[in-house]
Amino acid sequence: MMDATNIHISDLLDVRQQLNVSGITPTPQRLAIAEVLLTSHQHVTADEVFEKVNRSRVGPRVSKATVYNSLGLFVKKSLLREIFVDASRTFYDTNTQPHHHFYNLDTGQLIDMEERLVPFILESSLPENTLVEDIEIMIRVRNQKQ
């Protein structure tokens, strides 16, 4: 967990630079959200970001609307990946490289899959004049009953 006491000045500069390079104006609210997200690899929901930002932030609270708008902007600018688990649950992944996930239905945890699976069978069955842009696989798991 990150709070205001363990954010280093170099992290703040790196986060500000990441926003600037991505063409995002680093407002105080966006910086607060980026500080929570972009200084470590994690899978978080918008509600978790909202809680973390407001728990660690000194000063005015950041609204849920600002969190959602910033997450959408960060996804659009490729700073985050949006992972839809189901109709009611979306995660934001700080690892923007192509990769797959396990989703634990019992714990609600999203976990990166170590190996990149490439289903070659798709190549032979693609619609005419198309290319594979991305393949995202999510395997839903449950805890074993003891």
pLDDT of residue 13: 57
Cβ neighbours around 58 below 10 Å, total: 6
Contact 35, 14 (CB under 8 A): no
Q: Is the pLDDT of residue 122 over 70?
A: no
pLDDT of residue 127: 85
Higher local confidence (pLDDT), 58 or 53: 53
Q: How far apart, in whole angstroms, are the C-alpha atoms of residue 74 and residue 101?
A: 20
Average pLDDT over residues 49-67: 87
Counting residues of the chain whose pLDDT is more than 90, the rounded percentage is 54
Stretch (H or E) spanning 70: helix 64-76
Measured CA to CA in angstroms, residue 107 lies from 49, 123, 144 at distances of: 18, 35, 12
First CA to last CA distance, the chain: 31
> What's the pLDDT tens digit per position in 30-44?
999 999 998 889 999
Q: Is the pLDDT of residue 52 over 50?
A: yes
Q: Is the pLDDT of residue 8 over 90?
A: no
Q: Is the pLDDT of residue 104 over 50?
A: yes
pLDDT band at 73 (very low <50, low <70, confident <90, very high): very high
Measured CA to CA in angstroms, residue 54 lies from 2, 13, 57, 137 at distances of: 11, 20, 5, 33
Cβ neighbours around 128 below 10 Å, total: 4
Q: Is the pLDDT of residue 117 over 80?
A: no
pLDDT of residue 6: 40
Q: How far apart, in whole angstroms, are the C-alpha atoms of residue 133 and residue 146?
A: 41
